[in-house]
């Protein structure tokens, strides 16, 4: 039962990150607003594309590790990648975003990713 929970949470988190990456590639301005720091109208859209590519790549890599290597590799990946939403929390706070978005979305995501890592370590 624990293995189903560990894999299920890890797959769900990686699919969500893949979705966020696709959203930044397809509709970057609304995605940036949802991130917590709206994009400036006269800003460089390349940065939004970079975020989309980064998130999409992380989602695909996480899924590939789970599918082809196993829970131990997936756990280490989740442990390391938890730094991203922690960093996003700081970015949102430093650039005028709300505490609700910073902690309610980004920090909560980091906690979920760390829980996922712990569950994957437990089943590996």
Q: Please state the pTM of the whole predicted model.
A: 0.93
Residue 22, pLDDT score: 97
9 near 119, Cβ under 8 Å?
A: yes
Q: Which of 95, 63, 104, 62 is nearest to 81 (CA)?
A: 62
| Closest by CA position to 123, among listed 18, 1, 29, 16 | 1
Distance CA(56)–CA(64), nearest Å, equals 12
Residue 75 has a pLDDT of: 98
Question: Which pLDDT score is estimated for 54?
Answer: 95
Tens of pLDDT, residue by residue, the chain (124 residues): 999 999 999 999 999 999 999 999 999 999 999 999 999 888 888 989 999 999 999 999 999 999 999 999 999 999 999 999 999 999 999 999 999 999 999 999 999 999 999 999 999 9
| Per-domain boundaries in the chain | 2-123
pLDDT at 31: 94
Query: Would you state the pLDDT for residue 42?
Result: 84
């Amino acid at each position: 039962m624990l293995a189903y929970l560990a894999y299920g949470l890890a797959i769900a988190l990686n699919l969500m990150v893949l979705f966020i990456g696709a959203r930044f590639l397809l509709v970057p301005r609304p995605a940036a607003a949802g991130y917590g720091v709206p994009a400036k109208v006269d800003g460089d859209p390349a940065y939004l594309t970079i975020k989309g590519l980064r998130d999409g790549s992380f989602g695909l890599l996480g899924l590939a590790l789970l599918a082809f290597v196993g829970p131990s590799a997936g756990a280490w990946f989740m442990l390391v990648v938890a730094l991203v939403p922690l960093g996003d929390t700081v970015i949102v706070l430093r650039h005028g975003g709300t505490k609700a978005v910073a902690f309610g979305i980004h920090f909560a995501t980091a906690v979920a990713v760390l829980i996922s890592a712990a569950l994957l370590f437990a089943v590996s």
